[in-house]
Structure 1
Amino acid sequence: MVFPFLKKLFPPQPPLPPENLNPDEYHIFTDKFDKEVNANEIDLHIGTRDWPAWAKARNNYKSIAQKWKLNAAQDWEAGISRLLADPHFDDHRIAISILIDHSGSMKGDKAFLACAIAEVLASVFYKLGVQYEILGFTTSTWCGGSSRREWIQSGSPNNPGRLCDLLHIIYEPFSKKNAKVGKSIHNIFREKLLKENVDGEALIWASTRFPKTGLGKRILIVVSDGAPVDDSTLACNPKDFLCNHLKEVIADLTAQDINIVGIGLKYDISRYYPYSTSISTPEQMGTCVSKLLVPLLTPK
């Protein structure tokens, strides 16, 4: 006989979630804490106490990046002229997504370089009449956030899968009337925004945002300085869990006729992106990227 007061003291507990039977197969513990935000909503997630430091970073960027962008624009001139002179170049059937890694290691000079690359590319695509968008990806918190807390409350089952709260940022959405890029992308200079990076899911997200009809070519440009890293996830899953998923996603999207382009910042990104370049200095920004993209934009 079980005494009623014991039932009150020790109520039945729900069963633990089952452990994943194939730990190498990509899976997600929960996505209910993931967020997609517009750039003007970033303050709601990280506050405004960093504004003085952010203003200083913006001023520093303005003082050094103008020369970078001018040189890069000159490097693009011949390619732009050649594309516009090609009677088969159809700007209305091309859409390009620029997806920028917002991991903690991107702070400082790499954030400046990534921003300059995006601004130069936006200017190029504007001149070509090609629709584009600019996105960023990171996590809302360090150390797994609400996802990890829920995992702990669930009994910490082994191999839980991705175990963090994603934050995906829309800086410039697709538009057939895209003007020159605005200043919202300068949020990348806010160190408080830069946390961890789950690249595979970010690429999937970006791929779903392409216009659904009327396209002949989709190009997804990823600007990154390293491998996918989320400490909470990697502490509880196989060590190559995120890297393997990124490789699988790139292969899957390529099979869907999405052209995946990698731009590595002081990092050889070719281990993940077969079609890629690496940039170590701002002086390389125009030549390296134009040599990569002009052939891709040229009609076959």
Structure 2
Amino acid sequence: MFEDVAKKTRYMVYTKKYDRECRIGDLIDRETIERLNTHFDFHGYDNSDSVANGVEWAADLQPQDGLAVTILVDLSGSMRGRPIAQMSYGVLAATQALEGLGASVEVLGHTTNATNRPNDQFQTDRTIDNPGRLSELLHIVVKEAHVPSTRSPGNIIAMGTDSPHLQHENLDGEAIIWATNRLVSRPGQRKLLVSVGDDFEPRCQTSERYAKDSRFLKNHLKAVVDEIDASDALEFAQVVIGVNEHWLARQDTYRAPVSAGMEAGDIAKAIGVAVMQVLDPEPETRITAAPAI
């Protein structure tokens, strides 16, 4: 899978030398994560009832032993502040609900590094006409599938902290390839990738500035999504936060994305809707997510 995507879309990468894959504990200090294991108290969030209501969908599903799920979270700068905090709570609630049904759940995050060494190198070099991607990928393992979220919920909550390492740009196509490759290598009778973000297109001004085709990131993402849709190796669902039904109807990247409001309970519920669209596709049995404003 994905062998010809870059060639078909003319997706170029100037250098992968500075790309990084790491754990959330490499970016957020241990003391903060340990505090968040027991004190979910930043950004003033205290509406636990909303989160509980957001996972009521789990009661409508049969046990899901043999289901392997990956939740891939967009940690780009457009989510900075309270939105990313709400997303982290919502993802935690959905993860615990799925694990309670017997599914194994991995949580991954993606953004770019704060530094732009490929761009700096290109500015000195300037021998290439179309450099392509000029940012440094940052792919983050937030929670591994074999570790229950109840053991360290602070790892997932830490995605919402105001860290200088997080919340820069997003390169969705390469992140989805990374998450897919990890998911298909895991054991499981059925495999589901759920992406959670706030847009339908990658946003990376550093790379787009010098591109001959300003849509090269979007074209790559669309080709990656089409490749997954045509595969029987896994199923793919998307949750888009803060996007109204008008924009949802106009997008052409994803087959059936689910919109969510900006609160943690809304996000947890939307993840449930996305999961049920795959596991229980009959419309009359589906719940609906809260509309975005």
- Equivalent position to 2:59, from 69, 78, 88: 78
Distance in 1 (CA, whole Å) between partners of 2:198 and 2:177 is 19
1:200–1:246 CA contact under 8 A, matched in 2: yes
Distance in 2 (CA, whole Å) between partners of 1:165 and 1:286 is 30
1:96–1:131 CA contact under 8 A, matched in 2: yes
The answer to whether residue 132 in structure 2 is matched with residue 161 in structure 1 is yes
Q: CA deviation at 1:209?
A: 0.6
Distance in 1 (CA, whole Å) between partners of 2:149 and 2:24 is 17
Q: Which residue of 2 aligns with 1:279?
A: 260
- 1:49-64 equivalences under 5 Å are 59-61=41-43, 63-64=45-46
Q: Which residue of 1 aligns with 2:286?
A: none
User: 3-state DSSP class of the match of 1:183?
Assistant: helix
Counterparts in 2 of 1:151 and 1:172: CA distance versus 1, 3 Å: same
Across the aligned residues of Structure 1 and Structure 2, the Cα RMSD in angstroms comes to 3.0
The answer to whether residue 101 in structure 2 is matched with residue 136 in structure 1 is no
Structure 2: stretches of 5+ with no match in the other structure: 1-6, 283-293
Q: Which residue of 2 aligns with 1:33?
A: 18
What is the one-letter code of the residue matched to 1:278?
A: S
Q: Which residue of 2 aligns with 1:197?
A: 170
- Equivalent position to 2:237, from 261, 266, 280: 261
What is the one-letter code of the residue matched to 1:33?
A: Y
Q: Which residue of 2 aligns with 1:68?
A: 50
Distance in 2 (CA, whole Å) between partners of 1:179 and 1:285 is 17
- Equivalent position to 1:178, from 130, 148, 154: 148
Q: Which residue of 2 aligns with 1:113?
A: 86
1:27–1:161 CA contact under 8 A, matched in 2: yes
Q: CA deviation at 1:251?
A: 0.7
Distance in 1 (CA, whole Å) between partners of 2:81 and 2:229 is 32
Counterparts in 2 of 1:223 and 1:41: CA distance versus 1, 3 Å: same
2:208–2:214 CA contact under 8 A, matched in 1: yes
Counterparts in 2 of 1:152 and 1:280: CA distance versus 1, 3 Å: same
Distance in 1 (CA, whole Å) between partners of 2:19 and 2:71 is 21
Q: Which residue of 2 aligns with 1:235?
A: 209
User: 3-state DSSP class of the match of 2:10?
Assistant: coil
What is the one-letter code of the residue matched to 2:223?
A: E
1:65–1:116 CA contact under 8 A, matched in 2: no
What is the one-letter code of the residue matched to 2:182?
A: R
What is the one-letter code of the residue matched to 1:280?
A: G
Q: CA deviation at 1:95?
A: 0.9
Q: CA deviation at 1:130?
A: 0.6
Q: Which residue of 1 aligns with 2:65?
A: 91
Distance in 2 (CA, whole Å) between partners of 1:286 and 1:41 is 26
Q: Which residue of 1 aligns with 2:224?
A: 249
2:72–2:195 CA contact under 8 A, matched in 1: yes
What is the percentage of aligned positions where both structures have the same residue? 24
User: 3-state DSSP class of the match of 1:271?
Assistant: coil
Distance in 1 (CA, whole Å) between partners of 2:114 and 2:268 is 34
Distance in 1 (CA, whole Å) between partners of 2:236 and 2:54 is 22
Distance in 1 (CA, whole Å) between partners of 2:8 and 2:231 is 26
TM-score normalized with structure 2 length? 0.79
Counterparts in 2 of 1:277 and 1:127: CA distance versus 1, 3 Å: same
Counterparts in 2 of 1:173 and 1:211: CA distance versus 1, 3 Å: farther
Q: Which residue of 2 aligns with 1:6?
A: none
User: 3-state DSSP class of the match of 2:128?
Assistant: coil
Distance in 2 (CA, whole Å) between partners of 1:23 and 1:297 is 32
Runs ≥4 residues deviating over 4 A: none
Q: CA deviation at 1:285?
A: 3.5
Q: Which residue of 2 aligns with 1:13?
A: none
Q: CA deviation at 1:23?
A: 11
Q: CA deviation at 1:108?
A: 1.9
* Matched positions, count: 260
- Equivalent position to 1:219, from 192, 201, 206: 192
User: 3-state DSSP class of the match of 1:256?
Assistant: coil
User: 3-state DSSP class of the match of 2:46?
Assistant: helix
Q: Which residue of 2 aligns with 1:11?
A: none
Q: Which residue of 1 aligns with 2:289?
A: none
